[in-house]
Amino acid sequence: MDIAKKVTVPDVVAMKRDGKRITMMTAYDAAFARLVEAAGIDIILVGDSLGMVVLGYPTTVPVTMDDMVRHAAAVSRGASRPLLIGDMPFGSYQTGPTDALRNAARFLKEAGMDAVKLEGGHETVPLVRALVENGIAVMAHVGLTPQRVAQFGGFKTQAKSARAARRLIDDAIALEDAGAFSIVLESIPAPVASMVTERLSIPTIGIGAGIDCDGQVLVLHDVLGLYGDFKPKFAKRYGEIGTAVVDALRAFDSDVRDGRFPDAEHSFTMKDSELAALRQNATRPKAV
């Protein structure tokens, strides 16, 4: 992928055709979006994982459209080259095509996103069709869809039986037929992801779905070691930034307590003549 050229929806679809692997990473603010862009990643997903890794909720369910739009707008101020995708939060689309359209449009108009993602199988087909017919590019998401974590009884691998896997494959085909330009496969057995990838002409983006997907996505805070000790099996840590942050903050804490900070290098001075005048002024008794 040309590092300087804006990544578009057709580019991502073409990458599958050309046998090029696709990279996608989450980001939630301008500072990290800039770094993700600098790394040459193809797609930034402003995921509703925001709720867990940034806002401190136990699941993604409480995340609102206002939360998502605020963070997505920050991401688009930090990065413009990657394809930018806004994740539709729980309750923003399940209520029907009108709400789905209104909320998806907010991502494009208010937050500078290029496309949206929504979770679900065959039940979301009418919503995907409505969005696509009205000019909004949609990434689908099947398998472990975290907005249904209560129904699943936890963050559990899906499609482990032949019957459930068949259903997931049918859902993925239906979502492609509805016009989705790509699909996330989350936490499913690698052979099932492989079969989906083979059957679809749109790219599959895996997270816990094995090597045969057309692309891979991870949650930024998992990759960088910024999300406590929680570590899903599929989340490879490529850095230990959390440890580096604590080390830096401990050094600040002890420098301040021991009187080493701020030193001369980090303090401002003024001209000696100005200081002398100030001292004279400060010591002269007030006129009555």
Write out the catalytic residue numbers.
Answer: 186
Identify the residue among 11, 42, 67, 87 touching ligand KIV (CB under 6 A). 87
Segment near ligand KIV (CB under 6 A); pick from 13-21, 44-52, 73-81, 192-200: 44-52
Instruction: Supply the minimum distance, in Å, between the C-beta of residue 1 and ligand KIV.
Output: 20
Q: Beta strands of the chain (E only): which ranges? A: 22-26, 43-46, 83-87, 115-119, 138-143, 182-186, 204-207, 215-218
C-beta nearest to ligand KIV: residue = 47
Name beta bridge partners: 50: none
Contact code string over 175-194 relative to ligand KIV, x by CB under 6 A: ---------x-x--------
Instruction: Supply the minimum distance, in Å, between the C-beta of residue 185 and ligand KIV.
Output: 9
Look up residue 44 and give its amino acid: I
Please report whether residue 219 would count as binding ligand KIV according to CB under 6 A: yes
Instruction: For residues 180 and 213, give the distance between their C-alpha atoms in angstroms, rounded to a whole number.
Output: 16
Instruction: Measure the N-to-C terminal CA separation of the chain; round to a whole number of Å.
Output: 77
What are the residues whose beta carbons fall under 8 Å from the beta carbon of 184, sequence distance 6 or more?
117, 139, 140, 141, 142, 143, 204, 205, 206, 207, 217
Instruction: Supply the minimum distance, in Å, between the C-beta of residue 226 and ligand KIV.
Output: 14
Instruction: For residues 173 and 204, give the distance between their C-alpha atoms in angstroms, rounded to a whole number.
Output: 11
Name beta bridge partners: 141: 119, 184
C-alpha distances in Å from residue 259, one per residue of 249, 254, 256, 269: 15, 8, 5, 19
C-alpha distances in Å from residue 104, one per residue of 79, 166, 196, 235, 279: 20, 30, 26, 28, 62
Closer residue to ligand KIV, CB minimum distance, 73 or 223 = 223
Identify the residue among 36, 217, 223, 226 touching ligand KIV (CB under 6 A). 217
Instruction: Supply the minimum distance, in Å, between the C-beta of residue 212 and ligand KIV.
Output: 17
Please report whether residue 48 would count as binding ligand KIV according to CB under 6 A: yes
Closer residue to ligand KIV, CB minimum distance, 47 or 215 = 47
Instruction: Supply the minimum distance, in Å, between the C-beta of residue 135 and ligand KIV.
Output: 23
Look up residue 175 and give its amino acid: L
Please report whether residue 206 would count as binding ligand KIV according to CB under 6 A: no
Site for ligand KIV in 245-284 (CB under 6 A): none
DSSP code, position 148: G
Identify the residue among 23, 49, 124, 158 touching ligand KIV (CB under 6 A). 49
Please report whether residue 74 would count as binding ligand KIV according to CB under 6 A: no
Segment near ligand KIV (CB under 6 A); pick from 41-49, 150-158, 237-245, 253-261: 41-49
Please report whether residue 47 would count as binding ligand KIV according to CB under 6 A: yes
Specify whether the CB–CB gap between 46 and 84 falls below 8 A: yes
Q: Is the peptide bond before 285 cis (omega within 30 degrees of 0)?
A: no
Identify the residue among 11, 12, 26, 113 touching ligand KIV (CB under 6 A). 26
Q: Is 32 left (phi over 0), alpha (psi -120 to 50) or beta?
A: alpha
Please report whether residue 138 would count as binding ligand KIV according to CB under 6 A: no
Size of the site for ligand KIV (CB under 6 A): 11
Write out the residues near ligand KIV by the rule CB under 6 A.
26, 45, 47-49, 87, 184, 186, 207, 217, 219
